[in-house]
């Protein structure tokens, strides 16, 4: 079996680890795992699947990323004599608009490129490659959401047995949509290729004819990385714990080619008659398994929220004493704020940013002033509160207080989650109804969040279709809501960015 060389070099760590950032390679519909890469080539007017080795070199700095691709491929059908070699480097520059909470990423060809494709007696040599791509990234606390557009053109010289016979122009257009967060990421590319050939072809008898033909290929490629939690029993009887959760990381790449090419008779194209079909490719990476901390609470066994609580404790989202969680006591505003910070992995993100921006020891540091009158900067939880404010997740009261030990209401919890997603602007123009029977009890500042949360399936009403917005939440109820939030980051986003676009299941 061919072995793949896969190299990733990181100069400066990105905010989210590169291994989590799913991203299809090179805009040609190729898929890969740790061992092999494959793609379909249509330049001859007929689909030919190539497989083989690839190498990726990534160099990433704060404001730019360079990705270098190197492919060495041969036809999967060993009866076809052929070879594909391709080298290209893409440079992405980031314009970070922190005042807007967004980033513009512009990508272009960096330096030299080369590509040569040989299929039997035909040879295609890339002479010119024009390419540009631009994405807008909405940097939200829980996830980065992005969308982009691209345009490109490849110009190939075409030859038969070394004699130049014509040219092929490949026009590329399309775009991508994606998201990236601590729990994974999905990028789906929708790419259109238009192939235009003009030159001399040989028929099956060896006679030459001047020919022109055109074909189209639409490509849907999706690269998804997800993390899921699974409970594993302890098989030993005499152990200090019964079992625990493990975090499993999966990565899968799927691709679908829909092509429309001329039919070929006697070795020549018949453009009025078309060959239309679909080719699917799919591959998966080896799973990564990580064991998590084992909770040993005495007061959650048999509780309706036992599974939720154990998952969150294993993930370090919620704290508890060594033996007690107190599931039925009220959840405080501070506890929930710390939980959402950890659930979104914001803590690690901001610590990296602070390390990069930390002033030298010679700099004079101004004394920090607390955001709230009732929380001192000396409070050990102040850093959690500060991060939540900086990310736009929480706000204080009219008296500029946070009330950290105050009970958390359901309206407050839902508002915090929707702000973390950045979805608060998805609510309609004021004047709408949330369809809950207690709509008139919803505070004005929480109505948009509650409306959106129901629309995306994050919350439901009780048996009487009430949301009970002003009810204080218990630690158990808050645990259930946070687990649903994490499931949204894990599964719902992937479905929207992959299954709903590529129709892959």
Residue pLDDT, tens place only, 191-236: 999 999 999 999 888 899 999 999 999 999 999 998 888 888 887 7
Residue 43 is classified by DSSP as T
Domain boundaries, the chain: 18-289, 296-493
Contact 291, 234 (CB under 8 A): no
Non-local CB neighbours of 375 within 8 Å, separated by 6+ positions: 381, 382, 385, 402, 404
| Integer CA distances (angstroms), 16 to 183, 352, 466, in order | 10, 10, 38
Report the percent of the chain where pLDDT is more than 70.
90
* Statement: residue 446 has pLDDT above 60: yes
Note the pLDDT of residue 504. Answer: 57
pLDDT given for residue 293 in this prediction:
87
Highest mean pLDDT: which of 361-375, 382-396, 458-472? 458-472
User: pLDDT tens digit string along 400-425?
Assistant: 889 999 999 999 999 999 999 999 89
**pLDDT for the residue numbered 224:** 92
Long-range contacts of 163-166 (CB under 8 A, 24+ apart): 165/199, 165/200, 165/201, 166/197, 166/198, 166/199, 166/200
Structural element, H or E, at residue 422: none
Instruction: Please tell me the distance from the alpha carbon of residue 200 to that of residue 166, in angstroms, as a whole number.
Output: 6
More confident residue, 348 or 41: 41
Distance CA 373, CA 415 (A): 22
Residues 6 or more apart from 362 whose CB is under 8 A from it? none
* Whole-number Å distance between alpha carbons of 91 and 365: 37
Q: Looking at residue 316, what is its pLDDT?
A: 86
Query: Across the chain, what does the average pLDDT equal?
Result: 88
Is the separation of the CB atoms in 148 and 135 below 8 Å?
A: yes
- Quote the CA–CA distance of 353 and 345 in Å, as a whole number: 13
pLDDT higher for 318 or 61? Answer: 61
Distance (Å, rounded) from C-alpha 144 to C-alpha 425? 16
Which pLDDT score, from 0 to 100, does residue 320 have? Answer: 64
- The secondary element (H helix, E strand) that includes residue 498 is none
Task: With CA atoms as reference, report the closest residue to 144 among 437, 349, 433, 395.
Answer: 349
- pLDDT beyond 70 at 1: no
**pLDDT of 356 over the 50 cut:** no
Residue 2's pLDDT band (boundaries 50, 70, 90)? very low
For residue 296, report the phi and psi dihedrals to the nearest 5 degrees: -135, 45
CA distance 148 to 395: 32
Helix (H) or strand (E) holding 500: helix 500-502
Confidence of residue 15 (pLDDT cuts 50, 70, 90): very low
Task: Please give the pLDDT value at position 503.
Answer: 65
State pLDDT tens for residues 117-151.
Answer: 999 999 999 999 999 999 999 988 888 999 999 99
**Which pLDDT score, from 0 to 100, does residue 166 have?**
97
Across residues 175-190, what is the average pLDDT? 91
Any alpha helices (H) in 292-363, and if so which ranges?
306-314, 333-343, 346-357
- Per-residue pLDDT, averaged over 364-376, amounts to 83
Q: What tokens appear for 490 in the block?
A: 């894990």
State yes or no: pLDDT of 357 exceeds 80.
no
Please name the helix (run of DSSP H) or strand (run of DSSP E) that holds residue 455, with its range, or none. helix 447-455
Query: Which backbone phi and psi does 270 adopt, to 5 degrees?
Result: -120, 90
Per-residue confidence at 363, pLDDT binned at 50, 70, 90?
low
Asked if pLDDT for residue 445 goes beyond 80, the answer is yes
Between 493 and 67, where is the model more confident? 67
Q: Percent helix, strand and coil across the chain, each rounded to 5?
A: 20, 40, 40
The percentage of the chain sitting over the pLDDT mark of 90, rounded to a whole number, equals 64
101 burial class (0-12, 13-18, 19+ CB within 10 angstroms)?
Answer: middle
Distance CA 439, CA 398 (A): 24
How far apart (Å, rounded) are the C-alpha atoms in residues 200 and 197?
Answer: 10
pLDDT of residue 347: 42
Q: How far is CA 268 from CA 45, 164, 203, 213, in A?
A: 10, 18, 6, 10
| Pairing mode, strands 82-97 and 114-119 | antiparallel
Q: Give the integer Cα–Cα distance in Å for 277 and 256.
A: 10
pLDDT tens digits for range 234-290:
877 767 778 888 999 999 999 999 999 999 999 899 888 999 999 999 999 999 999
Mean pLDDT over 479-485 rounds to: 94
Contacting residues for 370 by C-beta, under 8 A, at least 6 apart: 376, 377, 382
Return phi, psi of residue 347, to 5°.
-55, -50
CB atoms within 10 A of CB 289: 11
> Is 448 in contact with 427 (CB distance < 8 Å)?
yes
Are 283 and 32 a contacting pair, CB within 8 Å? Answer: yes
Instruction: From residue 86, give the alpha-carbon distance in Å to each of 31, 126, 257.
Output: 15, 9, 20
Angle at 343 between CA 447 and CA 405, to 5 degrees: 65
């Amino acid at each position: 079996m061919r072995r793949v060389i896969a190299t990733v070099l990181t100069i400066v760590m990105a905010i989210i680890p590169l291994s989590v950032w799913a991203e299809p390679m090179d805009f040609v519909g190729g898929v890969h795992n740790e061992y092999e890469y494959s793609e379909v080539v249509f330049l001859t007017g007929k689909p030919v699947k190539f497989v083989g080795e690839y190498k990726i070199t990534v160099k990433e700095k704060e404001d730019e990323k360079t990705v270098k691709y190197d492919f060495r491929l041969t036809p999967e059908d060993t009866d076809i004599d052929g070879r594909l070699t391709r080298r290209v480097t893409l440079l992405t520059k980031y314009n970070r608009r922190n005042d807007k909470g967004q980033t513009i990423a512009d990508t272009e060809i960096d330096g030299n490129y080369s590509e040569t494709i040989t299929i039997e007696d035909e040879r295609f040599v890339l002479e010119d490659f024009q390419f540009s791509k631009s994405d807008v990234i909405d940097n939200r606390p829980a996830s980065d959401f992005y969308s982009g557009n691209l345009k490109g053109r490849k110009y190939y010289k075409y030859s038969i047995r070394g004699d130049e016979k014509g040219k092929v122009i490949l026009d590329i257009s399309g775009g991508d949509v994606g998201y990236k967060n601590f729990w994974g990421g999905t990028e789906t590319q929708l790419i259109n290729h238009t192939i235009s050939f003009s030159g001399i072809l040989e028929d099956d008898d060896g006679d030459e004819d001047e020919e022109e033909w055109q074909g189209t290929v639409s490509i849907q490629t999706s690269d998804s990385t997800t993390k899921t939690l699974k409970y594993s029993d302890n098989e030993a009887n005499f152990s200090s714990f019964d079992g625990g959760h493990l975090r499993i990381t999966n990565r899968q790449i799927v691709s679908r080619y829909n092509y429309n090419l001329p039919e070929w008779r006697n070795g020549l194209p018949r453009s009025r008659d078309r060959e239309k079909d679909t080719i699917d490719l799919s591959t998966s990476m080896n799973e990564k398994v990580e064991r998590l901390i084992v909770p040993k609470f005495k007061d959650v066994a048999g509780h309706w929220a036992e599974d939720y609580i154990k998952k969150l404790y294993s993930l370090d989202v919620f704290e508890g004493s060594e033996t007690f969680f107190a599931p039925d006591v009220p959840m405080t505003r501070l506890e929930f704020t710390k939980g959402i910070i950890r659930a979104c992995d914001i803590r690690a993100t901001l610590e990296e940013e602070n390390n990069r921006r930390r002033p030298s020891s010679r700099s004079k540091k101004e004394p920090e002033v607390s955001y709230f009158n009732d929380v001192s900067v000396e409070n050990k939880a102040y850093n959690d509160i500060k991060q939540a404010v900086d990310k736009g997740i929480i706000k204080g009261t009219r008296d500029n207080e946070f009330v950290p030990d105050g009970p958390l209401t359901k309206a407050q919890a839902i508002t915090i989650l929707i702000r973390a997603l950045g979805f608060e602007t998805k609510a309609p123009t004021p004047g709408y109804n949330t369809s809950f029977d207690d709509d008139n009890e919803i505070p004005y500042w929480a109505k948009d969040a509650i409306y959106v949360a129901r629309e995306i399936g994050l919350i439901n009403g009780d048996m009487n279709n009430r949301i009970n917005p002003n009810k204080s939440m218990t630690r158990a109820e808050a645990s259930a809501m946070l687990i649903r939030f994490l499931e949204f980051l894990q599964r719902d986003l992937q479905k929207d960015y992959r299954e709903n676009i590529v129709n892959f299941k």
